[in-house]
């Protein structure tokens, strides 16, 4: 939990200490806020704090300067205890311009700190942010500790010696700000200096100027005797021993796919098409060619999935990735993969919808699309990731199910997880069980006819024959196939049998996934909060707090959305109330009601922002009066 900063006024040198801090950098999309936040995150991780981040940026690449819709922000919650969310209310807001202040000040807790660059608070920028007069002067910021100084001017002064133009000089102000932030939390500047030297290796002047700005910001903290500006220490969190790094969801997912392909013994083929917020996976995987990964940027979303299906047919692990609108386009091809019973991993980095919706904001509103959204009775397996680091294991699980059951698997992640970073205890591949694929290559006996749809009697998966295998030539396709021969068959009874078989194959996966566990709390009780996907963090913290004050609340987090774990229904029946917080209008709630006839109640939020812990706490409060 983010606690307010407690100042010690005994001596100038005394440092405050805090269990956790929520900090947000906000400025124009051209101000480099994502970069500043990313580097502050790295510095935080190296200090040993637990952390969670929330990058939030406009869909426009370079929105007009100074506008409210052009504000880009980066929030980080770091602490000496377990951090599961990017934090509810902000302790420290850095506002690089009036628009950044206007759009973010409402999220700052009373008594929180505002660091403001007065250099940008000119008439024009104030007007763009719809301020009649400067909020610094009109008393409207009375609830906060305001630290306003001319960062722009101090940056220009600090880099004067390098002879940069005014525009280039001002671009260093994010490093000045970062320098001040590093001082505020007593951080080592050396890794940042190294990073700047690498980043600007080809332009030493820029490297030096940015380093000078970073040092100037740090020195300002050290020397300026401004009331309220003090150093705060946040102790390292007591983490499990091991090697750590920070990882975003997109990074962990890409690495997990590489790992999954390796564990299956297959080469991976990734067909993708650029779309926010899924593109990062395509970028990441295109760098891993030495791991047998082929990436193909197709002409459209349909070609992306179809090429992956073609690769699976040819004996590789086909993977495709998109966000909601692209997933909609891929629908017909998913049916083909279901009909031809080929392995395929489909990743959906969900964003706000419908249609183009909110491309850069997060939502969980594609669950119906994932479970139900295709023509015909077209079942596939659906699983979800709960956090950035969790994406690694979930990606491996998707590869396992796809190859072991000859089915498409949809992996649901979201825009929040894709971009957010958290510390990750790096696993060792030796600890993962491999699931090598065995291609069918058994020669036919004299007079024997090949049935490419011959099935494993237990899992119902069909055999997988690679083209190129002698004597086993066969034809597959989207038309219904005969259960016994694999030839085209339009007959009524056969279609019934094949439809049932496809459904039962997917339902049977439930025998090969872990039973549902209770994340926190008892197996029965007054209230269970059931979550899936990226709501894990806020639910976990909210339940922790409620339990700390003696409330009978449990937390169940569901990873396998379809099929559901076999014991989930029994578990749910052990609770008087069931609450399902979701960043949609109640999709998983409906699924649970349908499957178990339970009175699951929704808690919905579709603002494009993750749940706050307090919002879930309030809902618990209301149900357990």
Hey, which residues between 217 and 276 contact another protein (CB under 8 A)? 236, 239-246, 255, 258-259, 262, 267, 269, 271
Q: Which is nearer to another protein, 355 or 431 (CB)?
A: 431
Considering only 124-132, 321-329, 467-475, 588-596, which stretch makes contact with another protein by CB under 8 A? 467-475
Q: Which is nearer to another protein, 236 or 515 (CB)?
A: 236
DSSP strand pairing (317-322 vs 268-272) = parallel
Q: Which is nearer to another protein, 487 or 590 (CB)?
A: 487
Tell me if 199 contacts another protein by CB under 8 A: no
Helix (H) or strand (E) holding 304: helix 301-313
Q: Which of residues 521-560 bind another protein (CB under 8 A)?
A: none
Using CB under 8 A, which of 164, 298, 450, 507 touches another protein? 298
Q: Which is nearer to another protein, 255 or 278 (CB)?
A: 255
Q: Which of residues 130-169 bind another protein (CB under 8 A)?
A: none
CA atoms within 13 A on the CB side of 617: 15
Tell me if 291 contacts another protein by CB under 8 A: yes
Q: Which of residues 31-60 bind another protein (CB under 8 A)?
A: 42, 45-46, 48
CB of 105 to another protein, least distance (A): 33
User: Please, is 135 exposed, middle or buried when counting C-beta atoms within 10 Å of its C-beta (0-12, 13-18, 19+)?
Assistant: buried
Which stretches of 64-117 are assigned E, i.e. beta strand?
71-79, 90-95, 108-117
Q: What is the total count of residues that contact another protein (CB under 8 A)?
A: 73
Q: Which of residues 315-354 bind another protein (CB under 8 A)?
A: 315-316, 318, 332-333, 335-336, 340
Phi, psi for residue 444 in degrees, rounded to 5:
-75, 145
Give one DSSP letter per residue of 333-392, joined into a string: HHHHHHHHT--EEEEEEE-B-STT-BTTS---TTHHHHHH-SSSS---EEEE--STTHHH
Using CB under 8 A, which of 466, 512, 576, 622 touches another protein? 466
Cβ count within 10 A of residue 430: 5
End-to-end CA distance of the chain: 23
Q: Which is nearer to another protein, 6 or 475 (CB)?
A: 475
In whole angstroms, what is the distance from residue 494 CA to residue 514 CA?
A: 33
Q: Is 255 left (phi over 0), alpha (psi -120 to 50) or beta?
A: alpha
Tell me if 289 contacts another protein by CB under 8 A: yes
List the structure tokens of 517. 């566990």
Quick one: how far is CA 344 from the chain centroid?
A: 21
Contact present, 29 and 171 (Cβ < 8 Å): no
Contact present, 403 and 623 (Cβ < 8 Å): no
Q: Which is nearer to another protein, 131 or 424 (CB)?
A: 424
Tell me if 310 contacts another protein by CB under 8 A: yes
Q: Which of residues 174-193 bind another protein (CB under 8 A)?
A: 191
Tell me if 290 contacts another protein by CB under 8 A: yes
CB of 442 to another protein, least distance (A): 13
CB of 255 to another protein, least distance (A): 6
Using CB under 8 A, which of 163, 228, 477, 574 touches another protein? 477
CB of 27 to another protein, least distance (A): 25
Q: Which is nearer to another protein, 181 or 266 (CB)?
A: 266
Tokens 């506002």, residue located: 95
Using CB under 8 A, which of 14, 479, 597, 618 touches another protein? 479
Q: Which of residues 12-31 bind another protein (CB under 8 A)?
A: none
List the structure tokens of 531. 């979550």
Q: Which is nearer to another protein, 7 or 193 (CB)?
A: 193
DSSP bridge pairs for 52 = 77
In whole angstroms, what is the distance from residue 267 CA to residue 405 CA?
A: 18
Q: Which of residues 50-109 bind another protein (CB under 8 A)?
A: none
Using CB under 8 A, which of 468, 484, 500, 622 touches another protein? 468
Using CB under 8 A, which of 470, 490, 548, 625 touches another protein? 470
Contact present, 432 and 532 (Cβ < 8 Å): no
Considering only 5-13, 288-296, 356-364, 558-566, which stretch makes contact with another protein by CB under 8 A? 288-296
CB of 251 to another protein, least distance (A): 9
In whole angstroms, what is the distance from residue 253 CA to residue 258 CA?
A: 9
Tell me if 445 contacts another protein by CB under 8 A: no
Contact present, 247 and 280 (Cβ < 8 Å): no
Tell me if 608 contacts another protein by CB under 8 A: no
Q: Which of residues 376-415 bind another protein (CB under 8 A)?
A: none
CB of 324 to another protein, least distance (A): 21
CB of 447 to another protein, least distance (A): 13
Phi, psi for residue 67 in degrees, rounded to 5:
-80, 160
DSSP strand pairing (145-149 vs 108-117) = parallel
Contact present, 260 and 319 (Cβ < 8 Å): no
CB of 347 to another protein, least distance (A): 17
CB of 390 to another protein, least distance (A): 15
Using CB under 8 A, which of 202, 471, 490, 493 touches another protein? 471
Tell me if 467 contacts another protein by CB under 8 A: yes
Residue from 334, 436, 423 nearest 379 by CA? 334
Contact present, 467 and 476 (Cβ < 8 Å): no
Interhelix angle 390-405/249-264, nearest 10 degrees: 30
Tell me if 488 contacts another protein by CB under 8 A: yes
List the structure tokens of 413. 């992640």
Q: Which is nearer to another protein, 42 or 454 (CB)?
A: 42
Q: Which is nearer to another protein, 80 or 96 (CB)?
A: 80
CB of 178 to another protein, least distance (A): 16
Tell me if 292 contacts another protein by CB under 8 A: yes
Give one DSSP letter per residue of 177-217, joined into a string: HHHHHHHHTT--SHHHHHHHHHHTTT-HHHHHHHHHHHHHH
In whole angstroms, what is the distance from residue 295 CA to residue 88 CA?
A: 39
Considering only 150-158, 202-210, 469-477, 534-542, which stretch makes contact with another protein by CB under 8 A? 469-477
Using CB under 8 A, which of 15, 16, 199, 474 touches another protein? 474
Cβ count within 10 A of residue 147: 17
Residue from 112, 616, 604 nearest 104 by CA? 112
């Amino acid at each position: 939990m983010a606690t307010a900063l407690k100042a010690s006024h005994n001596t100038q040198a005394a440092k405050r200490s805090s269990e956790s801090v929520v900090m947000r950098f906000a400025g124009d999309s051209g101000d480099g806020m994502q970069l500043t936040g990313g580097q502050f995150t790295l510095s935080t991780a190296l200090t040993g704090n637990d952390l969670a981040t929330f990058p939030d940026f406009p869909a426009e690449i370079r929105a007009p300067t100074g506008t409210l819709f052009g504000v880009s922000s980066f929030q980080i919650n770091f602490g000496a205890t377990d951090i599961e969310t990017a934090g509810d209310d902000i302790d420290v807001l850095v506002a690089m311009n009036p628009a950044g202040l206007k759009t973010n000040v409402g999220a700052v807790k009373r008594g929180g700190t505002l660091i403001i660059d007065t250099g940008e608070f000119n008439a024009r920028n104030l007007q763009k942010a719809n301020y009649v007069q400067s909020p610094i002067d009109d008393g409207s910021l009375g609830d906060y500790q305001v630290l306003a100084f001319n960062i722009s001017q101090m940056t220009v002064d600090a880099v004067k010696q390098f002879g940069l133009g005014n525009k280039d000089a001002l671009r260093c102000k994010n490093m000045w700000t970062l320098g001040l932030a590093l001082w505020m939390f007593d951080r080592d500047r050396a890794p940042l200096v190294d990073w700047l030297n690498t980043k600007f290796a080809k332009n030493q002047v820029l490297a030096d100027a940015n380093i000078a700005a970073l040092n100037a910001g740090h020195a300002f903290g050290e020397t300026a005797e401004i009331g309220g500006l003090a150093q705060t220490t946040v102790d390292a969190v007591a983490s499990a021993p091991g090697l750590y790094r920070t990882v975003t969801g997109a990074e962990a997912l890409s690495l997990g796919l590489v790992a999954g392909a390796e564990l299956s013994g297959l080469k991976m083929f990734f067909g993708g098409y650029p779309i926010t917020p899924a593109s990062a996976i395509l970028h990441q995987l295109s760098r891993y060619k030495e791991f047998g990964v082929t990436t193909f940027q197709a002409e459209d979303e349909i070609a992306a999935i179809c090429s992956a299906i073609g690769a699976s047919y040819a004996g590789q692990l086909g993977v495709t990735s998109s966000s909601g609108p692209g997933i909609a386009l891929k629908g017909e091809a998913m049916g083909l993969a279901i009909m031809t019973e080929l392995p395929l991993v489909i990743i959906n980095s969900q964003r706000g919808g419908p249609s183009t919706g909110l491309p850069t904001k997060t939502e969980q509103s594609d669950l119906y699309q994932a479970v139900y959204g295709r023509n015909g009775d077209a079942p596939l397996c659906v699983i979800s990731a709960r956090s950035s680091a969790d994406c690694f294991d979930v990606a491996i699980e998707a590869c396992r199910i796809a190859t072991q059951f000859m089915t498409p698997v949809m992996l649901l992640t979201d825009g929040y997880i894709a971009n957010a970073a958290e510390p990750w205890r790096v696993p060792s591949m030796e600890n993962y069980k491999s699931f090598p694929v065995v291609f069918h290559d058994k020669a036919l006996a004299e007079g024997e006819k090949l049935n490419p749809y011959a099935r494993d009697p237990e899992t119902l998966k069909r055999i997988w024959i690679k083209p190129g295998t002698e004597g086993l030539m066969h034809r597959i396709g989207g038309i219904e196939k005969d259960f016994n021969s694999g030839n085209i068959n339009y007959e009524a009874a056969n279609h019934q049998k094949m439809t049932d078989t496809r459904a039962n194959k997917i339902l049977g996966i439930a025998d090969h996934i872990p039973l549902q566990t209770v994340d926190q709390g008892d197996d029965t009780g007054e209230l269970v909060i059931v979550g899936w996907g990226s709501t894990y963090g806020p639910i976990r913290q909210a339940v922790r707090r409620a339990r700390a004050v003696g409330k009978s609340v449990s937390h169940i987090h569901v990873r396998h959305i379809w099929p559901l774990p076999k014991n989930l229904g029994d578990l749910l029946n052990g609770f008087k109330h069931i609450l399902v917080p979701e960043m949609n209008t109640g999709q998983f709630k409906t699924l649970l009601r349908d499957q178990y006839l339970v009175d699951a109640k929704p808690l919905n939020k579709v603002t494009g922002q993750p749940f706050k812990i307090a919002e879930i706490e309030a809902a618990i409060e209301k149900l357990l009066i």
